[in-house]
């Protein structure tokens, strides 16, 4: 059964409240507690001088109350003495300025000296707590990349980048040829001449940027792996996790997950709604609930990244946060709904951030399950309630499993790097193309898996490739073998490994499947559209030649989509009504059971239950395509409520 937990910072509170905190956690229905991830200055107040006593005591108190512990390595917050001893360990920002001490994540992934320090503190912690019976899981560091920290433009990063390039390309001539450096006389005679791409006069070569993005991601993976190796050695049998972020693509989470046992992510639906690309109308409509696909998209994305599909929510918003443009409180019921949605997607844990609101320092306006004075905050009762419901559902039998794989969305982090490097039209992003395709499928009531390129697709009836500039051999083979319907979006197959247009033109190898070639691409400013009646061609338009037949054509004769056999090509950007129309046509060619869900309603099936979630601030009736009476909740769903049907 999915467990509930919280993030706790014993070092923030007097020791005499710990036992009461632990008891109240257990009383509230929590069984896991995540600690330690920022506590370096208390663990090692001076170089080599460790103060374990307080943490030993905290571990015993929590263990004594029956809580399991997820122990974090504190490498996101190197202490002042360490920074002073090694002042070149800071990352440099894109303008080349050195970042400083006084918050967190102030290190450069490429600094060899800091890596040694990170390994040293990881080993010390793993040796101390690695075999403690309460410690069931380790979290490496905290949110790699938070506060824009994956890319560093430091001398250490530059030197490491040169080594990375030499390993990848062998010779400067090979690199010049791969990148097309004869253009603008950018040729290099040796790897030592190559700088980072940040301070060029105008845009750097996109191949240069892509190499730097790949390198920066690899540095994160290597930094993480160094900790993982130590934890495996000193704490055998414990799971290792890391907490990924929302709408964040700075490193390749598929690669990171390959080294972990379970992938976590941090779910702040209201903060993400406010900070990301949603329209003002959506921000208002969902201000206290979050857009209905924000949490689910990441559940399905990170499940697809995780080894054996093991994933969790390591931080769950319990009330207002402090870091978005506006920070409203969730509607009553939302914290429980978010928790149940995580269960519906197969999470192993939802851990609320944080236990008690801290009256001091940067996050004093960030809610916890307790108020700063220690009284219950509103979310606490919801947590207890949802825990009781989870137990009731669990009592009916074994753990719920896979509830049917309807549609696969193929997504790569590299695709998003490429559309960031070369958007070609404002706002055109592979990540948001994936999100919009996800929404289009979820509005039809489907279970959606977001999978890495090359994944086996045989369990699905529909595969979507929203925007995948590089289509590797494995991905192509999986699509060629796939017997279901395929939708391919613009820019897919449009680039080689080194960011060149393939000689065969886009969609490259996918031409075997869709039988067309893109002869010209244009991006369209707002208002420049081709009207299709109920839909329009907007933002992007590919002009194509080939055997594939136009399927959707605008009134002026401009095709929006093409079809060949089981495959469709979307020649315009995957968003809005044209996307819904192409999805509807592809679904009509499958035997999938679909629903027309009212705005704000979403469903999810696992092997035992069908869940219906109302993300609206208004009451919604469950549509008649879902029959019967729910075992939890009601067919009339109040705002921020859910129903569960036994299957
Ligand atoms: C996360 C972070 C936590 C805390 C939280 C506040 O990004 O991992 O440490 O800062 O945000 O919402």
Task: Please report, for the chain, the start and end positions of each structural domain, with discontinuous segments joined by +.
Answer: 31-260, 407-588, 602-646
Atom of ligand 1 nearest to the CA of 321: 12
Exposure string of 404-434, with b = 16+ CB inside 10 Å and e = fewer, is ebbbbbbbbbbbbbbbbbbeeeeebbbbbbb
Rounded mean pLDDT, 306-325:
97
Q: Which residues contact 325 (CB under 8 A, 6 or more apart)?
A: 274, 275
Distance CA 1, CA 4 (A): 10
Query: What pLDDT digit, counting tens, does each position of 142-165 carry?
Result: 999 999 999 999 999 999 999 999
Q: Which CATH architecture has domain 31-260?
A: Alpha-Beta Barrel (3.20)
Residues classed as catalytic: 143, 315
**Does the structure show a pLDDT above 70 at 94?**
yes
Residue 380 Cα to ligand 1 midpoint, Å, equals 19
Beta bridge pairs of residue 1: none
Distances (CA, A) of 227 to 33, 83, 152, 174, 189: 21, 20, 20, 34, 37
From 354, 351, 358, 140, select the one nearest 238 (Cα to Cα).
140
What is the rounded average pLDDT for all residues in the chain? 97
Atom of ligand 1 nearest to the CA of 142: 8
Query: What pLDDT digit, counting tens, does each position of 510-557 carry?
Result: 999 999 999 999 999 999 999 999 999 999 999 999 999 999 999 999
Distances (CA, A) of 571 to 523, 552, 602: 11, 10, 28
Rounded mean pLDDT, 226-241:
98
Per DSSP, the three-state class of 175 is helix
Distance CA 197, CA 508 (A): 28
From 442, 362, 370, select the one nearest 409 (Cα to Cα).
442
Per DSSP, the three-state class of 71 is strand
Residue 406 Cα to ligand 1 midpoint, Å, equals 33
H helices of 355-509, where? 378-395, 413-421, 430-442, 473-481
To test ligand 1's pocket by mutation, which of 363, 364, 365, 379 has the most ligand atoms within 8 angstroms of CB? 363
Angle between helix 430-442 and helix 294-305 axes, rounded to 10 deg: 110
Residue 356 Cα to ligand 1 midpoint, Å, equals 14
Query: Which strands form 32-35's sheet, in the order they lie side by side?
Result: 239-241, 135-139, 68-72, 32-35, 3-7, 349-352, 311-316, 263-267, 243-244
Rounded mean pLDDT, 479-498:
98
CATH class held by domain 407-588: alpha beta
Q: In the Cβ-directed half-sphere of 364, how many Cα atoms lie within 13 Å?
A: 5
Q: How confident is the model at residue 275 (pLDDT cuts 50, 70, 90)?
A: very high
Q: Greatest CA separation found in the chain? A: 76
**Does the structure show a pLDDT above 80 at 398?**
no
Q: Provide the percentage of residues in the chain whose pLDDT is more than 90.
A: 98
Query: What is the structure's pLDDT at 514?
Result: 98
Exposure string of 75-84, with b = 16+ CB inside 10 Å and e = fewer, is bbbbbeebbe
* Tokens at 71, concatenated: 């122990």
Per DSSP, the three-state class of 231 is helix
CA 211 from chain centre, in angstroms, equals 22
Query: What is the structure's pLDDT at 324?
Result: 98
Question: For strand 407-410 and strand 448-451, is the pairing parallel, antiparallel, or unpaired?
Answer: parallel
Strands (E), 432-473: 448-451, 462-465
Residue 645 Cα to ligand 1 midpoint, Å, equals 34
Q: How confident is the model at residue 400 (pLDDT cuts 50, 70, 90)?
A: low
Q: In the Cβ-directed half-sphere of 379, how many Cα atoms lie within 13 Å?
A: 30
**Does the structure show a pLDDT above 80 at 397?**
no
Per DSSP, the three-state class of 526 is coil
Distance CA 411, CA 453 (A): 7
Query: What pLDDT digit, counting tens, does each position of 413-462 carry?
Result: 999 999 999 999 999 999 999 999 999 999 999 999 999 999 999 999 99
Residue 87 Cα to ligand 1 midpoint, Å, equals 26
Distance CA 131, CA 153 (A): 39
- Taken as a whole, the chain contains a residue count of 647
* Tokens at 262, concatenated: 């379970």
Distance CA 89, CA 226 (A): 17
Determine if ligand 1 sits within 6 Å of the CB of residue 37.
Answer: no
Distances (CA, A) of 100 to 80, 86, 151, 432: 10, 12, 15, 32
Determine if ligand 1 sits within 6 Å of the CB of residue 353.
Answer: yes
Rounded mean pLDDT, 190-203:
98
Atom of ligand 1 nearest to the CA of 362: 10
Q: How confident is the model at residue 479 (pLDDT cuts 50, 70, 90)?
A: very high
From 50, 53, 30, 39, select the one nearest 9 (Cα to Cα).
39
Distance CA 22, CA 12 (A): 14
* Rounded to 5°, angle at Cα 334 from 328 and 338: 115
Determine if ligand 1 sits within 6 Å of the CB of residue 34.
Answer: no
Rounded mean pLDDT, 621-625:
97
Q: Do residues 552 and 535 make contact, with C-beta atoms less than 8 angstroms apart?
A: yes
**Does the structure show a pLDDT above 60 at 269?**
yes
DSSP H or E stretch at residue 267: strand 263-267
Distance CA 277, CA 624 (A): 33
* Tokens at 380, concatenated: 């606490």
Distance CA 436, CA 416 (A): 14
Determine if ligand 1 sits within 6 Å of the CB of residue 352.
Answer: no
Distance CA 113, CA 593 (A): 56
From 528, 576, 574, 568, select the one nearest 552 (Cα to Cα).
568
To test ligand 1's pocket by mutation, which of 8, 40, 139, 143 has the most ligand atoms within 8 angstroms of CB? 143
* Rounded to 5°, angle at Cα 337 from 335 and 339: 70
Q: How confident is the model at residue 127 (pLDDT cuts 50, 70, 90)?
A: very high
* Tokens at 186, concatenated: 């950018």
Cβ neighbours around 184 below 10 Å, total: 9
Residue 354 Cα to ligand 1 midpoint, Å, equals 9
Q: How confident is the model at residue 598 (pLDDT cuts 50, 70, 90)?
A: very high
Query: What is the structure's pLDDT at 505?
Result: 98
Q: Do residues 361 and 9 make contact, with C-beta atoms less than 8 angstroms apart?
A: no
Determine if ligand 1 sits within 6 Å of the CB of residue 143.
Answer: yes
Determine if ligand 1 sits within 6 Å of the CB of residue 315.
Answer: yes
From 492, 483, 447, select the one nearest 303 (Cα to Cα).
447
Q: Does domain 602-646 have CATH number 3.90.1150.10?
A: no
Angle between helix 53-64 and helix 112-129 axes, rounded to 10 deg: 50
Residue 47 burial by Cβ neighbours in a 10 Å radius (0-12, 13-18, 19+) = exposed
């Amino acid at each position: 059964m999915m467990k509930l937990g919280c993030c706790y910072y014993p070092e923030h509170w007097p020791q005499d409240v710990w036992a009461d905190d632990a008891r109240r956690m257990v009383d509230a229905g929590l069984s896991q507690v995540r600690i330690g991830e920022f506590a370096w200055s208390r663990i090692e107040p001076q170089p080599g001088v460790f103060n374990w006593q307080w943490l030993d005591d905290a571990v015993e108190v929590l263990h004594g109350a029956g809580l399991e512990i997820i122990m974090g390595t504190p490498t996101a917050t190197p202490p002042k003495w360490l920074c002073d001893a090694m002042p070149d360990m800071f990352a440099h920002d894109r303008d080349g300025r050195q970042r400083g001490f006084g918050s967190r994540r102030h290190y450069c992934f490429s600094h060899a000296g800091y890596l040694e320090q990170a390994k040293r503190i990881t080993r010390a912690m793993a040796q101390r707590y690695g075999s403690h019976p309460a410690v069931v899981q380790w979290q490496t560091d905290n949110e790699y990349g938070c506060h824009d920290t994956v890319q560093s433009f430091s001398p250490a990063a530059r030197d490491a980048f040169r080594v990375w390039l030499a390993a990848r390309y062998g010779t400067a001539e090979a690199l010049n040829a791969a990148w097309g450096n004869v253009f603008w006389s950018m040729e290099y005679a040796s790897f030592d001449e190559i700088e980072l791409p940040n301070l060029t006069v105008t845009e750097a070569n996109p191949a240069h940027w892509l190499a730097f993005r790949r390198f920066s991601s690899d540095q994160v993976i290597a930094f993480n792996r160094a900790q993982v190796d130590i934890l495996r050695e000193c704490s055998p049998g414990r799971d290792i996790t890391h907490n990924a972020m929302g709408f964040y693509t700075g490193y390749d989470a598929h690669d990171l997950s390959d080294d972990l046992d379970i992938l976590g992510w941090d779910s702040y639906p209201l903060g993400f709604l406010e900070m990301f690309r949603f329209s003002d109308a959506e921000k208002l409509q969902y201000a206290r609930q979050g857009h209905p696909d924000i949490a689910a998209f990441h559940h399905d994305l990170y499940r697809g990244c995780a080894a054996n599909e093991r994933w969790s929510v390591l931080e769950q918003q319990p009330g207002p946060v402090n870091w978005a443009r506006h920070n409203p409180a969730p509607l009553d019921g939302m914290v429980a709904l978010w928790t149940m949605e995580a269960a519906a997607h197969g999470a192993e844990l939802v851990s609320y951030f944080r236990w008690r609101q801290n009256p001091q320092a940067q996050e004093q306006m960030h809610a916890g399950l307790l108020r700063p004075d220690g009284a219950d905050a509103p979310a606490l009762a919801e947590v207890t309630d949802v825990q009781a419901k989870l137990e009731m559902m669990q009592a009916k039998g074994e753990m719920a499993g896979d509830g049917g794989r309807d549609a696969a969305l193929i997504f790569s982090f590299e695709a998003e790097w490429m559309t960031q490097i070369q958007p070609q039209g404002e706002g055109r992003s592979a990540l948001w193309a994936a999100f919009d395709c996800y929404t289009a499928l979820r509005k039809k009531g489907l279970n959606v898996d977001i999978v890495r390129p090359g994944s086996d697709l045989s369990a699905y009836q529909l595969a979507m490739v929203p925007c995948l500039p590089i289509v590797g051999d494995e991905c192509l083979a999986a699509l060629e073998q796939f017997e279901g319907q395929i939708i391919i979006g613009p820019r897919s197959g449009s680039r080689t490994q080194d960011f060149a247009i393939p000689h065969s033109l886009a969609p490259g190898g996918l031409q075997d499947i869709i039988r067309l070639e893109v002869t010209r691409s244009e991006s369209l400013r707002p208002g420049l559209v081709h009207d299709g009646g109920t839909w329009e061609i907007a933002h992007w338009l590919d002009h194509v030649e080939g055997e594939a037949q136009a399927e959707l054509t605008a009134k002026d004769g401009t095709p929006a989509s093409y079809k060949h056999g089981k495959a469709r090509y979307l020649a315009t950007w995957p968003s809005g009504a044209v996307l819904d129309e192409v999805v509807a046509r592809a679904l009509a060619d499958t035997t999938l059971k679909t629903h027309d869900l009212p705005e704000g309603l979403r469903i999810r099936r696992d092997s035992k239950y069908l869940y219906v979630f109302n993300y609206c601030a208004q009451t919604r009736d469950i549509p008649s395509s879902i029959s019967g009476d729910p075992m939890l909740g009601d067919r009339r769903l109040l705002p921020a409520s859910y129903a569960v049907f036994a299957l």
